[in-house]
Amino acid sequence: MTTGQESVSWSGVKMSSTDQDKDWQQIEDEVTCCICGDLFNEPKTIPCLHTFCKRCIERSIDANKKMVAAVSCPLCRAPLPEDEIASIPTNFTIDSLVKILLKRPKQSGTDIPCDNCQESSVSSDETLCATIWCVECEKRLCDTCYAAHSQWAEFKKHKAVSINEFADNPLTILAAPEKPEYCSKHSRQTLDLYCETCGILICRDCTVKDHPRGHRNHNFDFINDIGDEERRKMKQVTDPLTQLLERVNGAGKKIEHCEQQIEVESNGHIEKIRAVYCEVHRLLHQEEQATVETINTIKTSMKKRLNLQKENAKLMEIQLASCGDFCTKIMAVNRTRQMLTYKKWIKTRVDELTKEVKHTSLDPECKASDIVVKLCNPTEFVNNPVCAVSCVPYLPHCSYSKYGQLVRPDKVKVTVTLRDYFGSLVVNQSESLKIQCNKGREFLQNVHIEEHSGGQYYIWYKPRRMEDHLLSVYWRESLVNHEEIEVLVRMRDYANIKQKVIKVIDKYGQTNKQLVSPNMLAKGLNNEVIVRDSSTNQLVVFDKHFQFSHVIGGAGSGKGKFQFITGIAVDKWGCLYVADSDLNCVQKLNMNGEFITQFGCQGQSFGEFQCPRGLHVSQSELLFVCDRYNHRIQVFQDDEFSYCFGQHGTEPGTFGGPVDLTLNNSEDQLFVTDFDNQWVQMFTPKGQFLKVFCSYAGPIFKAQNPVGIYYTPDGYLLVSSTSTHGGRGLYCVSVFDDSGNIVACIDGNHQGRKRFRNPCGVVVMDSGQIVIADGSFGGNMLVVI
């Protein structure tokens, strides 16, 4: 019997015999299933070398099948092919440990019944106390049974230890020789051979029928003869595990170190941010009085300018009234000689007054919207406390559609986008938004506010009467942007549009000059229509009643002159931007044609144009320019290059020659017509690709070559395009709703009559009239109801 004070555990670790409780606990831990928490019952070792109870594996497989998931190991998620589940081998080592654990004495000196006597005795009174533990039989034996056990030649070499030693040092028995296993096909034969070809244990009988030497190259040998060699090979296979384990442990330590650094850095940044915002709050409070004084100073200056302008207007009014009164009186009496005497004086005076009125600005030189509230980055207060701040906003920035959208004859929709002081989108604020109307509370019915996307909200309601009104949007009881939204309920019902031409403009000026190829078009600040005349390289301006007003520019290469106009836009201050593809520049003028500046300088990688085309100026004073042959969009701010995006290609998000562009009302979507790729693409203002439209005119025909584009005040997108289909020309203006669905098509050939040949520019007046510029030579500019 073995009585040593030290022994080697089955895992190779030396343990002291005084730690028997710890030894038993180690065995119990090793034979406990991690799924059910009980001792293993029919332990099965799966291909990833983890062991579980058979019933636990079956339950896990059933659960994965219900979730339509792949069968995998519950611990490491290694895949487990379902067809191998039935052939999973039993872990006999773990099974033996379970049996040993169940038969362990609670402590040394305890009377334990003999297993053999219990199995063979008829009466429990004949059962004797066990004194010996047979390691290989895994049975507790009394002295009588052990004496009989030792007489058998088959059992004579079995290792046996005393029960007390088994209780005190259980790991000693684990170093015993391996217990023989019997063949499943030949139950009386032990598995003494290993077939290297098949990779399985076999018995002697198996070598005759299933594994004959020489057949299919079966190669087998006795287990005892190849044990040392196989252990050496196994060691070569498992040696890299040590290095791999060290590498993974090192990676884990690096990850843990990185996690600690992130925690430290994050806490540090949080403290810095808190310090910055505390400083911002202090400086905001400090700047409050200075900001109020600044606004009061601006107000005083503006009122002085307006008073002076009002006095001049009053003086001019007196002069005109006096002249008119004199002329009326002299013509009222029958004194022809006296009238003829004053004729020259009257004509001279009228000419002087006419000239003075013409060259005097009658519009207010400044207005309330000139007080622009600009938001400064809070860190600028800390880095530069004396930085110039025009005004501190009382409310977060809010952008919204300029007009309400009449989505049905009796339903209005207004789009609102909320941002905080620092430009971030504000979400989940539907309940904080309230609306009021200048027509009274009862005017609004069925009000519904919902968040369409992050920070963007739709306000739906039904007006009691179909008339224009002003809408006030409140966020947390404060009026957003300090202004009201103008809702025009007379907007077009594009789904049922009546394609009736109400006016055709083909001549202008006192001499009725023919308008030639007016393919560029824009709408002025006061609802003027500005159109290009290619015959004179001038811009022709019509007022909101489509009456001729004046011309701007002319042929030439100097300031305020043009060679080939390819784009027109007007900003919120009434300044005019004109793209010239021959001069490769954009000029900025006022509405009287006076030159302000130009840009698109040569020799710069950015800001230099190759055929600038469509222009659009946002409410935030960003100028977007289609740089056609550079296949990109350039963006300018304060007449200086800011950024650009786009490249040549035929995939969505690239360009094959952008020709025109426009922003939606909330200015978070930019639409670009791509002439060569024959589609319209949608981006964010920063250039992130969102969507592409490939078909414009619906099921009747598919329009191609998109040119002009315009986003209407009531939330529709108009695209002018031409196509050749079936040998005949098809010309149209397609209308999309704000979801990208086509709702109407304005056909150039209507009821057999050709109304326009080459629709290019398109705008919508505030009154809802659609203006289409016909770009063909000899074409007309049409106003369509």
d(CA 637, CA 622): 5
From 641, 636, 634, 673, select the one nearest 655 (Cα to Cα): 673
Task: Name the β-bridge partners of 784.
Answer: 501, 770
CA atoms within 13 A of residue 340's CA, in its CB half-sphere:
4
Supply the pLDDT for residue 697.
Answer: 40
Q: Considering the chain, what percentage of its residues have pLDDT values greater than 70? A: 75
d(CA 470, CA 477): 18
Range of the domain at 316: 225-370
Supply the pLDDT for residue 530.
Answer: 92
Examine the domain organization and report whether 306 and 416 are in the same domain. no
Examine the domain organization and report whether 578 and 650 are in the same domain. yes
CA distances (Å), 652 to each of 195, 563, 647, in order? 62, 33, 11
- Residue bearing the bigger pLDDT, 186 or 552: 552
What amino acid occupies position 721? Answer: S
Supply the pLDDT for residue 661.
Answer: 93
Task: Name the β-bridge partners of 706.
Answer: 721
| Residue 204 counted as domain residue | no
| Residue 106 counted as domain residue | yes
Examine the domain organization and report whether 413 and 330 are in the same domain. no
- Residue bearing the bigger pLDDT, 158 or 374: 158
Neighbours of 55 (CB within 10 A): 14
E-strand ranges in 299-443 read: 398-400, 405-408, 411-418, 433-437
Examine the domain organization and report whether 587 and 675 are in the same domain. yes
Which tens digits make up the pLDDT trace of 696-707? 444 333 557 788
**Residues 762-766: what's their mean pLDDT?**
84
Examine the domain organization and report whether 149 and 239 are in the same domain. no
Examine the domain organization and report whether 129 and 92 are in the same domain. yes
| Residue 144 counted as domain residue | yes
Helix (H), strand (E) at residue 75: none
What amino acid occupies position 266? Answer: S
CATH number for position 678: 2.120.10.30
Supply the pLDDT for residue 616.
Answer: 93
Examine the domain organization and report whether 275 and 322 are in the same domain. yes
CA angle 29, 33, 39 (to 5 degrees): 70
d(CA 391, CA 377): 13
Supply the pLDDT for residue 21.
Answer: 62
CA atoms within 13 A of residue 267's CA, in its CB half-sphere:
5
Neighbours of 127 (CB within 10 A): 17
Average pLDDT, the chain: 76
d(CA 389, CA 688): 31
**Residues 337-360: what's their mean pLDDT?**
80
Supply the pLDDT for residue 376.
Answer: 43
Supply the pLDDT for residue 389.
Answer: 30
d(CA 569, CA 613): 11
Structure tokens, 364? 């207010």
- Residue bearing the bigger pLDDT, 136 or 232: 232
- Residue bearing the bigger pLDDT, 360 or 381: 360
Supply the pLDDT for residue 104.
Answer: 67
Structure tokens, 247? 């590498």
Supply the pLDDT for residue 568.
Answer: 93
Of 675, 694, 713, the one marking the end of a domain is: 694
d(CA 58, CA 41): 13
**Residues 229-250: what's their mean pLDDT?**
82
**Residues 456-484: what's their mean pLDDT?**
80
CA distances (Å), 456 to each of 231, 398, 399, 472, in order? 69, 10, 9, 17
Examine the domain organization and report whether 450 and 356 are in the same domain. no
**Residues 600-623: what's their mean pLDDT?**
78
From 35, 170, 160, select the one nearest 99 (Cα to Cα): 170
Long-range contacts of 142-149, Cβ-Cβ distance < 8 Å, separation of 24 or more: 142/114, 142/116, 142/117, 145/114, 145/116, 145/117, 149/116
Q: Length of the chain, please?
A: 785
Contact call for residues 780 and 732 (beta carbons, < 8 A) = no
Going by C-beta distance under 8 Å and a sequence separation of 6 or more, which residues neighbour residue 491? 403, 405, 406, 712, 713, 714, 768
- Under the banding of pLDDT at 50, 70 and 90, the label for residue 423 is low
d(CA 299, CA 652): 50
Examine the domain organization and report whether 569 and 423 are in the same domain. no
CA angle 763, 713, 364 (to 5 degrees): 85
- Residue bearing the bigger pLDDT, 82 or 122: 82
Angle between the N-to-C axes of helices 336-358 and 223-332, in degrees from 0 to 180, rounded to the nearest 10: 160
Q: Considering the chain, what percentage of its residues have pLDDT values greater than 90? A: 6
Of 417, 436, 463, the one marking the end of a domain is: 463
What amino acid occupies position 621? Answer: E
Task: Name the β-bridge partners of 721.
Answer: 706, 732
Q: Report the SS3 class of residue 172.
A: helix
d(CA 53, CA 41): 5
Of 335, 370, 405, the one marking the end of a domain is: 370
Q: Report the SS3 class of residue 721.
A: strand
d(CA 624, CA 627): 9
Which tens digits make up the pLDDT trace of 547-570? 898 999 888 888 889 989 989 999
| Residue 185 counted as domain residue | no
- Whether the pLDDT of residue 223 is over 90: the answer is no
Task: Supply φ then ψ for residue 625, to 5 degrees.
Answer: -125, 130
Examine the domain organization and report whether 154 and 245 are in the same domain. no
Task: Supply φ then ψ for residue 266, to 5 degrees.
Answer: -60, -45
Examine the domain organization and report whether 108 and 171 are in the same domain. yes
Residue whose pair of structure tokens reads 């994050």 in the numeric block: 266
| Residue 101 counted as domain residue | yes
- Under the banding of pLDDT at 50, 70 and 90, the label for residue 625 is very high
| Residue 521 counted as domain residue | no
CATH number for position 131: 3.30.40.10
Task: Name the β-bridge partners of 645.
Answer: 633
* Cα Rg of the chain (Å, integer): 46
- Residue bearing the bigger pLDDT, 754 or 304: 304
Contact call for residues 634 and 627 (beta carbons, < 8 A) = yes
Q: Report the SS3 class of residue 735.
A: strand
From 435, 364, 433, select the one nearest 404 (Cα to Cα): 435
From 162, 188, 230, select the one nearest 3 (Cα to Cα): 162
Residue whose pair of structure tokens reads 């030497």 in the numeric block: 213
Residue whose pair of structure tokens reads 């008829």 in the numeric block: 122
Which tens digits make up the pLDDT trace of 4-34? 333 333 434 344 444 556 666 677 777 788 8
Which tens digits make up the pLDDT trace of 261-283? 888 888 888 888 888 778 777 77
| Residue 714 counted as domain residue | no
Examine the domain organization and report whether 559 and 672 are in the same domain. yes
Supply the pLDDT for residue 75.
Answer: 75
CA atoms within 13 A of residue 513's CA, in its CB half-sphere:
16
- Residue bearing the bigger pLDDT, 384 or 428: 428
Supply the pLDDT for residue 205.
Answer: 83
Supply the pLDDT for residue 754.
Answer: 65
Q: Among 185-194, 278-287, 385-394, name the most confident range.
A: 185-194
Structure tokens, 731? 């010309």
Supply the pLDDT for residue 626.
Answer: 93
User: What's the number of domains the chain is made of?
Assistant: 4
| Residue 603 counted as domain residue | yes
Q: Among 301-310, 535-544, 690-699, 776-785, name the most confident range.
A: 535-544
d(CA 363, CA 434): 35
d(CA 577, CA 643): 18
